[in-house]
Structure 1
Amino acid sequence: MTVRFLTREYRPGLLSGIVTRLTRRWMTTTNKTTVMSFGDGSHGALGLPMSQTGLGFDAYEPTPVLALPPDVSTIAAGHYHSLAVTSQGHVWAWGRNNEAQLGRDPLSPRETWNEPQKVEGLSQVKVQAAFASGVISTAIGDDGSLWVWGKSKRGQLGQLGLGKDITEAVLPSRVEALIGQDIIKVSLGWGHALALTKDGKLFGWGYYADGRLGKIGELFETSPLDSVAFKLKLSGENSGSMTEAAEELVLEAIEKEKNMPIVWEPTLIEEVADVEVVDMACGLDHSLVLDRDGTLLSEGSNVYGQLGRVKQDLGLLPVDMSFIPVNIASGLGHSLAICKGTSSDVGVDGLSVVTWGWNQSYQLGRKGPESIPLVVEEFSGETPVSLSGGRVHSVAVTAKNEIWTWGCGRNGRLGLGSSADEVEPMLVECLEGSQVLQAVAGFDHNLILIAE
């Protein structure tokens, strides 16, 4: 098997060797690949054939998505839909399509949503990578261009980045505000988005309350749609009456938010304009930004402790940690990082997994104060290569090309063959011997890319 990783060109510095190995712009492979999925299938995001009972088919172990081409080079998971990019530069999509995030007619029969189909409207560009949120899908062309499609809703207005009051793009549309920028990564929260350029510049757009996009030339505003109202609604683990009560709180907050603070087009994040950003990640309503010197910054809501800092001021401020982060990720309300310089240095480069934030279903994989970044001790002995966070679960890929999962096991989202929660990282044993190239988590489902 020949796998080629194309990485950014980094200047010599503190994190050069580690970040170059961990941060991948995109991946190509000369051999066949297989995409596998597991977890909640209620929206068709698994891409598996419908059962006799309809779309609500869950997969408790990784299962091949047979309808995809054999040359998928990279994958992405939105909240309830999935994307795959082939070596030919085509994007395939499946799952929820209420907001046209599949790049096909939103009136297409719901029973076809689980069927992977090629996204039309991208013939003028060879796609290298894709990223997604709840209502938006994005694709990055080989020329660094950014393309978006989907339909924004209240709370997610402006996430397309196509201009003032543009809230819908059924077919892929180019983000003109970023023409001339070489985009290499996009991360999308519930209503905000970040884009990283090859030369380390960071752009943000969308819903900017709670300082989740930094200053963006505007005064900070606190959102009346506070994350506390989402705790029950989005956890997916509560009784019907409690969920109804949470939904009422959300509706009340939305009603108060008639004039939402929106940045309609990508705008340079001023606080990091003078440094080189090497990675970033968006949670539901918070953001993480890593610069080349190893400083990790956080911004947005801190109701779960997901900012990892004692200082509660709004804005882009340093996370309270003595470790050196080299790669970051985020779940709905928790944060994850691969770090060097921990007391549990093991494996190649002495890398460990560090987590903080919401831990209702053990998605941190450790004990201890939730708002303080701490090492996942049970992962010692393994060398993490990449991390991904779901609603209330977490996923890691190691240097051995293995996949580990922990947190909430409902709907089989841990791929361990049961619905049991796991308080610490567990090896997905059914994939032992497989070459796992990539693993990504949606809210309640997961995708894995395996080399044959």
Structure 2
Amino acid sequence: MQIRKFKERKIINQLAVGEEHCLILFSDKTIKGVGSNQFGQLGLMQKQRNLIIHDLIDIKLFGCDEDYQVKQISAGQFHNLYLLEDSQGNQKIYVNGKVIRQSLDNVDPDELSGLREQKLSKIKDENKEMKISKIYSRFNTNVFYTEKDLYIWGDTLTGQYHEYPTAFMKFDGQVNQIAIGQKHGLILVQDIETNRNIVYGWGDGTYGELGPTQNGQTWFKPEIIEEFEELKPSQIAAGARHSLILDRKGLMYVIGDNSFDQCLSQDRRAYEAKVIQCQEEVEEIYSGRDHNIAVSKTGIAYSWGGSLINKGWGNNNQIELDQIEDLQNRYPDIIDLSYSNTIIITGQSNI
């Protein structure tokens, strides 16, 4: 693992990690970024489009209403989402970077890669009390959810592309978390009456990422994954073609593609949820494209997957999780995984 250190004497609220770039949202609502600007994802001008930025730079959202402040950020593969809010609670979503469209006929990609507002007026006309809880982007899929409603645009994971946010699903319970892979999505919903967590999934589950009974069919709308519900989930995470579940006791389960040992299975696919043995009770889980990180209740971070050696295939011995030695005596405050990248923020308690 290559470690790069950036020191900023400000509290960090959020990370957003794309395939080749990273954004950081600070508590003072400023944003800094680093990495590739190939598709304008760092907000630089067209003549700087192909630059690789090696040090943190200020990200300016030119054209945004000055009365609005950035509340949340999220990064897709080569683009970003920004949730802005004014003092009255009015909200707007902006996007910059690579254009996500099924067809770019008669469209200038350079022109559209700049900052642009997503149209929410029609949605707000239908739901005047709508309050966005969270924005989320992964690969080429964008979503946001309110307390009970999920909206989607870009790649819907069902073979369709939506140019603007579209109502996708209304749940009976409260949406608490969403995780999106390359071909599938997971949603963690809390049942209001029983307080139990239910995992919904949609998309393509060919590799088992949507549970053993999905049989590789495409789910065009979120369906309850009964096998995951039986695990009493508390958190979810999604890699490109695998799913990671954390239960209420701090045990982890993984299912799906094992091409890079991300499921620690003896086979190339794990079609049934497999327990991942950890020395300690786990508190948080994260998934990149082909790798995972777990953080124990004592703050120790473990990683696995992303291997080109496939040391688990045909091996009857239990593969142990690797402790991230560079984080010894450093409690990880914020973690974000995306694709092959891992960004970890430590030391915020010392600021």
- TM class by shorter chain equals 0.7 to 0.9
**Secondary structure in structure 2 of the residue aligned to 1:336:** strand
Question: Among residues 50, 61, 72, which one is paired with 2:46 in the alignment?
Answer: 50
Question: Among residues 180, 192, 196, which one is paired with 2:172 in the alignment?
Answer: 180
1:301 has 2:257 as partner: yes
Aligned ranges 1:269-308 → 2 under 5 Å:
269-308=225-264
**TM-aligned CA deviation for residue 33 of structure 1:** 0.4
Q: Please state which structure has a larger fraction of its residues in helix.
A: 1
Give the structure 2 partner of residue 74 of structure 1.
Answer: 72
What is the distance in 2 between the residues matched to 1:72 and 1:401?
A: 23
Note if contact 1:305-1:357 (Cα within 8 Å) is conserved in structure 2.
Answer: yes
**Secondary structure in structure 2 of the residue aligned to 1:211:** coil
**Secondary structure in structure 2 of the residue aligned to 1:378:** helix
Give the structure 1 partner of residue 119 of structure 2.
Answer: 120
Instruction: Name structure 1 gaps, 5 residues minimum.
Output: 6-27, 159-166, 222-260, 341-349, 361-368, 403-432, 434-452
What is the distance in 1 between the residues matched to 2:91 and 2:151?
A: 13
Give the structure 1 partner of residue 199 of structure 2.
Answer: 202
**TM-aligned CA deviation for residue 85 of structure 1:** 1.4
Counterpart code for 1:109? D
Give the structure 2 partner of residue 447 of structure 1.
Answer: none
Q: Which moved more, 1:272-281 or 1:34-43?
A: 272-281
What is the distance in 2 between the residues matched to 1:212 and 1:275?
A: 15
Alignment CA distance shift 1:106-1:298 (3 Å): farther
Alignment CA distance shift 1:107-1:45 (3 Å): farther
By relative contact order (CA 8 Å, sep 6+), the higher-ranking structure is 1
1:354 has 2:290 as partner: no
Output the aligned Cα RMSD: 3.2
What is the distance in 2 between the residues matched to 1:393 and 1:210?
A: 23
Alignment CA distance shift 1:171-1:98 (3 Å): closer
Give the structure 2 partner of residue 212 of structure 1.
Answer: 209
Give the structure 2 partner of residue 331 of structure 1.
Answer: 288
Note if contact 2:261-2:307 (Cα within 8 Å) is conserved in structure 1.
Answer: no
What is the distance in 1 between the residues matched to 2:132 and 2:292?
A: 28
Counterpart code for 1:332? R
What is the distance in 1 between the residues matched to 2:326 and 2:53?
A: 26
What is the distance in 1 between the residues matched to 2:39 and 2:140?
A: 13
Alignment CA distance shift 1:296-1:197 (3 Å): same
Instruction: Name structure 2 gaps, 5 residues minimum.
Output: 1-10, 14-24, 309-316
**Secondary structure in structure 1 of the residue aligned to 2:207:** helix
What is the distance in 2 between the residues matched to 1:375 and 1:169?
A: 41
Note if contact 1:306-1:333 (Cα within 8 Å) is conserved in structure 2.
Answer: yes
Alignment CA distance shift 1:317-1:380 (3 Å): same
Note if contact 2:254-2:276 (Cα within 8 Å) is conserved in structure 1.
Answer: yes
**Secondary structure in structure 2 of the residue aligned to 1:213:** coil
What is the distance in 2 between the residues matched to 1:61 and 1:36?
A: 10
Alignment CA distance shift 1:130-1:325 (3 Å): same
Alignment CA distance shift 1:351-1:157 (3 Å): same
Counterpart code for 2:178? V
Note if contact 1:306-1:358 (Cα within 8 Å) is conserved in structure 2.
Answer: yes
Give the structure 2 partner of residue 168 of structure 1.
Answer: 161
Query: Deviations along 1:133-185, whole A, 9 cap, x unmatched?
Result: 222210112x3311001145xxx435xxxxxxxx1322211113x33232122
What is the distance in 2 between the residues matched to 1:38 and 1:106?
A: 31
Question: Among residues 74, 95, 102, which one is paired with 2:97 in the alignment?
Answer: 95
Question: Among residues 135, 139, 147, which one is paired with 1:134 in the alignment?
Answer: 139
Give the structure 2 partner of residue 444 of structure 1.
Answer: none
Q: Please state which structure has a larger fraction of its residues in strand.
A: 2
Aligned ranges 1:224-303 → 2 under 5 Å:
261-303=217-259
1:65 has 2:59 as partner: yes
What is the distance in 1 between the residues matched to 2:41 and 2:318?
A: 30
**TM-aligned CA deviation for residue 398 of structure 1:** 2.4
Note if contact 1:145-1:174 (Cα within 8 Å) is conserved in structure 2.
Answer: yes
Alignment CA distance shift 1:305-1:275 (3 Å): closer
**TM-aligned CA deviation for residue 339 of structure 1:** 1.4
**TM-aligned CA deviation for residue 49 of structure 1:** 2.5
**TM-aligned CA deviation for residue 107 of structure 1:** 5.6
**TM-aligned CA deviation for residue 80 of structure 1:** 1.4
Counterpart code for 1:147? Y
Counterpart code for 1:207? D
What is the distance in 1 between the residues matched to 2:181 and 2:32?
A: 24
Counterpart code for 1:136? T
What is the distance in 2 between the residues matched to 1:294 and 1:99?
A: 40
Number of residue pairs the alignment of both structures matches: 304
Percentage identity across paired residues of the two chains: 19
Give the structure 1 partner of residue 331 of structure 2.
Answer: 383
Alignment CA distance shift 1:208-1:95 (3 Å): same
Give the structure 2 partner of residue 374 of structure 1.
Answer: 322
Aligned ranges 1:305-316 → 2 under 5 Å:
305-310=261-266, 313-316=270-273
**TM-aligned CA deviation for residue 359 of structure 1:** 4.4
Alignment CA distance shift 1:86-1:139 (3 Å): same
What is the distance in 2 between the residues matched to 1:173 and 1:310?
A: 41
Give the structure 2 partner of residue 146 of structure 1.
Answer: 150
Aligned ranges 1:430-445 → 2 under 5 Å:
none
Query: Normalising by the residue count of structure 1, what TM-score does the alignment of the two structures yield?
Result: 0.61
**TM-aligned CA deviation for residue 108 of structure 1:** 4.6
Question: Among residues 312, 320, 323, which one is paired with 2:277 in the alignment?
Answer: 320
Alignment CA distance shift 1:393-1:126 (3 Å): same
What is the distance in 2 between the residues matched to 1:130 and 1:401?
A: 26
**TM-aligned CA deviation for residue 382 of structure 1:** 0.7
Alignment CA distance shift 1:79-1:337 (3 Å): same
Give the structure 1 partner of residue 158 of structure 2.
Answer: 157
Note if contact 2:246-2:252 (Cα within 8 Å) is conserved in structure 1.
Answer: yes
**TM-aligned CA deviation for residue 326 of structure 1:** 0.9
Note if contact 1:307-1:371 (Cα within 8 Å) is conserved in structure 2.
Answer: no
